[in-house]
Structures are given as C-alpha cells and as structure tokens.
Structure 1
Amino acid sequence: MQNITAEETKGMNLTCGLSGRHQFVFTVVPIVYGCNFVIGIVGNSMVVAVIYCYIKLKTVANIFVLNLAVSDLTFLITLPMWATFTASGYHWPFGEFLCKTSAGLAIFNLYTSIFFLTALSIDRYLAIVHPMRSRRFRTVMYAWITCVLIWVFAFLLSVPIVLTREVHNFSNITMCVILHPSTVNYSLQELLLAISLMKSLLGFLVPFIIIITCYCLIVRALLRARHIQKSSRSRDDEVLRMLAAAVLAFFLCWVPHQIFHFIQLLIQLKVVENCGIEDIVDTAMPFTICIAYFNSCVNPIVYGYVGKNFRKNLLRLLRCSPNKATGPHPSISSKMSALSFRASEALSLTVKSKASSDIK
C-alpha cells in the first residue's frame, strides 16, 4: 500500500528514508483492517445470500447491488495480508505474485465499487425522474451488459498497478511497493503519473460529479412531486434520507484518501520536496486507506439493510426459512420504484396544468 520514492542507484538509496514508519501505525491500522474484514465479509455475504435466495435478480438495481457486493468481497479477502504487512512494519512475506495480485485487487475494487455506485445512481435517476421513457433501457439484459463493461474497464485500469508493484529489499525488510524512480526513466515516470491521475479523476472526481448530479435531480423531482401529493411526504422523506446517506458515505469514505493522494501526486511531480511533508503523508495514508476501505462495509447497510423487505428476508435467511412460492418478492428498491411512478404522475400533472393554463 505504501509508495517509496527512490533514486535509480545500485544501493536503492531513499531520498527521505523510510518515512511513515511509526509504531502506532503498525498497531492501529491492522486492527482497523481486521474490523473492516469481519464486518465487510459478513455484510456483503448477507447481501449476496439474500438476493440469491429470496429477492432474485429481476430488477436492474438488484443486479448492481449484487455486483457491488461481489466486488467488495473480492477485495476484502486481501485485507488479512495487508494487515499482516502493516503489523510487521511493512514487511511483505507473501512473495511477488501475491504482492501484485493484492495491489491489483485493491485498485480493481476502487474502480468497480465507484463505477457500480455511479451506475446505481444513474439507474435511480432514470427510474424516478424518467420512469416511462427509460423503461426500455432499464432491462435485466442491459444491466448485465453494463456490469460486464464495468468489470472489464476496471480490470484494464488496474493492470498498470500490477505491472509497477514489486517486491524490494530495503534495510533487510522485504516490502511490496511502487518505486518512483528518478527522471532518468521517463517512460516509467509518465506511467506512474498517469496511474495517479486516473485514480483521482476516474476513481473519484468524475464519478462523484455524476452521483451528485443524479441525486440533485432526483431530489428536485421528489420535491416537485411533494407539492402535488402531500400524502407521500413520509415515504419521500425516507427515500431522501437513503439517498443522502449514500452520497454522504461515499464522500466521507473517499475524500480523505483522495486529498492525501493529491499531495502524494505533488510529491511525485516534485512540486513538493520536503521530507517532513512526505513523512506526514506516508503516516496518514494508511489511515485514509482504512477509511476508504470502510466503504466496502457501509455499502450493504446503505443499499440493503435500510429496506424493510431486505431486513425481513435477512431474518428468514438467519432462521433458515424456505423460499416459499407465495408470489414475487419486491426488490431492494421497491419503495423507490413505487415512488418513481407517483413522482412521474405528479410531474405530468404539473405539465398538464401548465399547458391548460396557457390555453386558457
């Protein structure tokens, strides 16, 4: 997880030494990784089990939520290795293959999680604001095609991390790191710069703008519908709280890491050349990564456990109740889907009323 800045010499001399090596980091971070692993594995496994056993994959939202949970699970299995890596003072005992694989899965999860959250936000926007016009695009087939494209695109974006992550020995310590060479190797330096820029732009900024835009348009549509249908206030408030929780969780989990990642990018570009600042960044980065990875634990809560139907099916799963054929079960987003039709009806009434007033 740690980036090391090195000069290309035979002895691999470090410009600022092994910065960020503090005992409290080696103690606190592995504990947080362990908590993230347990909570994330249990939560996402419950989401997968409930969708598979009771809810089924009959809606676009359910497909995205399932893929999001699977994406989180594929990353969470690497957390014990990163916890061991940090607890042993950044010593990597698992070999180069697992070093590359674990680093690749970490960045792979960053992209897949954010892309699936973005796809889910766009789907919610289409379902609530344009339910009738978007019906032919919001099909199970198109949802699976979107998921395949997201997996492939995220895989391609994670390949450079796999190629640049290596195992090196520093002061009798075997570390899994990304080496930032001197300006002698221009091609490698440009590749590392491109990786950092893609992580900031495609891994956070662009998806965050799309998510915020979708939810702002959803809120505006719901508020316009509320003026016409006063009776739906309580259900509207519940949907608004869920949307606000999703955006807030995304923001709080990823912004600290992206801020320090941007400072690290300035160090990489040699805009900032201060060993004190580099030590602060290297010390804070593991904690910001902990917060970012906690998003894998929050996702099941925000997109699954807030639904009454999901909680009901979760209790059935824990009690080992059979899946009786008593009729179709509503999806995770049933409340939002029902609300989308009421919102569209209200909006259409508004348009009709304005048209009739214009005629008069």
Structure 2
Amino acid sequence: MEAKSDCDASNQTLYKIYAAIMIVIFILALPLNASVLHLFIFKLKFWKSNSNNIFLFNLVLADILLLFCLPIKAHNFIQGERRSTNDTVCKAMLFMLFLNRGASIAFLTVTSIDRYFNVVHPGRKNLLKALKKSPQISILIWLLLLPLTIPTMLKNFDCCNTTWALTHQSYSDNDVVDSLREVVFFTQIVIPFIILVYCTVRIVNRLRKKTIGDKTKLKRAVFLVTTVMVVFSFCFLPCTIARMVLLITRVQNASEPNQDKAAVAFDGLMVLSYMDCLMDPLVYCFCSTKFKALYLSSYFPFLMKDPQHHEIRSI
C-alpha cells in the first residue's frame, strides 16, 4: 500500500492541469514538427545536404517520437496515476522518454558545437567536420544513447511494477543500477549545458573581436547558440534542479509531505521540459534564414512578399 501511495497523484487537480498542458503541447507541436519533417525529407533531401540538415532532421525525429509519449502520460495523470500501472507500458514509456529526450539534447549540443568550429576555428580540422557530410555521426549518437536507457529496463523504477526505486531504502543499499540511472540523468543535462555555455562565450568573444569584414555569419551563430541556451535553460535546467531536490529529500528521509511536494514539483517541471518540442523549431530558424524563408513559402506563402524567389535547394 505504501508503494501504491507513492505512485498515486496526491493532488489530482494539479495533475489534471499537468495533463492539460501536455495535451496542448501535443496538439501544437505535432503538426509543427511534422511539417518540419516534411520539409527535410521532401524539400531539402537532408541526406544529400550539409551537416546541419542531418543534425536537425534527427532533432525533429527525436521530438516527434517524444511527442507520442505525451498522450499516454496525460491519460495516466488524468486517472490519478504518476506512472502507468502496467509494467510493460511503464518501462516502455521510460525507455522512450530517456532515449528521445537524450537525443534531443545531444543533437542540440552537436549543432552548437558544429557552429562553434565553423566560426571560431574555421580552418581547423576536427572529427565532427570530417564526419558531418555523412549520417554516420547521427547513427553513432543514437547507438551511444541506447545503452544509457538500459537502466530503465533492468530494474523497477518510478512506480513500474508498483514499486519505486527512488526511496531512501534503495539509496542506503547503494544500488548500482539506481546510482547509474541518476548519473545518466544529470550528466546528459549538466555536461551539454557546460559545452553550450563554452560555445556561446567563445562565439560571442569572436564577434566582439571582429572589427572589420562581414559580421553576418558571426551574428547568426550568436543567435543560434543563444537560442539553444534559452531553450535548454528553460526546458531542462528546472527539472534537473527539481530532481536534485527530490533525491535530497529522499536520501535525508524528509517528512512524507515534503517528499510528496518535491515529487509533485519534479513531475510538473518534467512536463515543462516537453516544451522543448515546441521551441526547437526556433533553432531551425536561427540556423538559417533560408530555412525560415522555405518554411514560410511552403506553408504560409501569403506572408511572403515575393514567394517565387524563395525556392531553396538547401540550407
């Protein structure tokens, strides 16, 4: 009964609000990302184009796969459950959320690193530059992410099988799987955030030092990395902090009401992280003004002053 109470949504009204937010995100983000995916496949033919198109295609693919999880989570919240009571569904959901959320973060980061090398070290050879014209690096990223999701399948977690690994008892036993899972959760956010901060600072400094010549490319790079930083900070950092607070309350065996409040806050900020699926299209626009022009001319031609001049072959 204690495990069951941990998995129940204590504040059902609040969780129904969470569910409503996820449904709105799903309704808005699915057609938006589907239209972007259509452009990459049928207009840009991303596999024949430059590296940014390949990275961005994988980013939108990860977002769409993540979106398909939202209706199931919303249904659970409406039913007053923090997770599905079906063990298979619960673990499959966690696997999809870990994998596609990690992929979204990874491709956002790789896009910024690629822009960093192009702007700060334009003549320097690097592994990313050598592989960027093939899909190999994207496939490698997906393959590297797969092992990181295995801990969600090895042991009961977050109410799967009516038990919850995030209890002070499991941490007192120094469970390796639980510890590895938390390491994965935090490193897949903290390390990319540090990389993004570094890339942003270096590109901004490069722009300030450039006193002559065309600054358009540098300014566009600044817009890109700044946009990625905003998306990352808004979507992922709050849930990371909430996760840390949740773990602290459980490790310190805080009172049950405080643990419950921390769990509710974490679930709410995880819902906020799904806004990433709506905000990522901003990255596409800041990667290239040509993409923005192509998108508008394809789906909103009435907003274009001269649509016939905006047929873009590649970004």
The TM-score, its normalising length taken from structure 1, stands at: 0.74
SS at match of 1:228: coil
- The alignment status of 1:250 with 2:239, answered yes or no, reads no
- The alignment status of 1:214 with 2:202, answered yes or no, reads no
* Whole-angstrom distance in 1 between the partners of 2:208 and 2:37: 33
Give the direction of change, closer, same or farther, for the CA distance of 1:84–1:56 in structure 2 (3 Å limit): same
Map of 1:266 onto structure 2: 248
Map of 1:195 onto structure 2: 181
- The alignment status of 1:294 with 2:271, answered yes or no, reads no
Structure 2 segments unaligned to the other structure (5+ residues):
302-307
For the pair shown, the structure with the greater C-alpha radius of gyration is: 1
Give the direction of change, closer, same or farther, for the CA distance of 1:237–1:274 in structure 2 (3 Å limit): same
SS at match of 2:236: helix
SS at match of 2:165: strand
- The alignment status of 1:111 with 2:102, answered yes or no, reads yes
Task: Calculate percent identity across the aligned residue pairs.
Answer: 20
Map of 2:119 onto structure 1: 128
Aligned residues: CA RMSD:
3.2
Aligned residue identity for 2:75: T
Which deviates the most, 299-308 or 275-284?
Answer: 299-308
* Whole-angstrom distance in 1 between the partners of 2:142 and 2:182: 20
Q: Deviations over 1:276-314 (max 9, x none)?
A: 321211121221011111112211122237743223322
How many residues align structurally? 306
SS at match of 1:26: helix
- The alignment status of 1:22 with 2:6, answered yes or no, reads no
Does the CA contact (< 8 Å) of 1:19 and 1:283 recur in 2? no
Q: Deviations over 1:7-52 (max 9, x none)?
A: xxxxx53598667511332221011111121222122212211112
Map of 1:241 onto structure 2: 223
Q: By percentage of residues, which structure has more helix?
A: 2
Q: Deviations over 1:212-251 (max 9, x none)?
A: 11121111112212x123xx45665454233212211111
* Whole-angstrom distance in 1 between the partners of 2:264 and 2:191: 27
* Whole-angstrom distance in 1 between the partners of 2:191 and 2:75: 33
Query: What is the CA distance between 1:161 and its match in structure 2?
Result: 1.0
SS at match of 1:68: helix
Give the direction of change, closer, same or farther, for the CA distance of 1:234–1:56 in structure 2 (3 Å limit): same
Aligned residue identity for 2:266: M
Map of 2:295 onto structure 1: 314
Query: What is the CA distance between 1:150 and its match in structure 2?
Result: 1.2
Greater relative contact order: 1 or 2 (C-alpha under 8 angstroms, separation 6 or more)?
A: 1
Does the CA contact (< 8 Å) of 1:99 and 1:165 recur in 2? no
Q: Deviations over 1:80-120 (max 9, x none)?
A: 00000001100766732222111111111221111111111
- The alignment status of 1:275 with 2:259, answered yes or no, reads no
Give the direction of change, closer, same or farther, for the CA distance of 1:18–1:87 in structure 2 (3 Å limit): same
Map of 2:43 onto structure 1: 54
The TM-score, its normalising length taken from structure 2, stands at: 0.84
Give the direction of change, closer, same or farther, for the CA distance of 1:111–1:228 in structure 2 (3 Å limit): same
Does the CA contact (< 8 Å) of 1:121 and 1:214 recur in 2? yes
Structure 1 segments unaligned to the other structure (5+ residues):
1-11, 169-173, 332-360
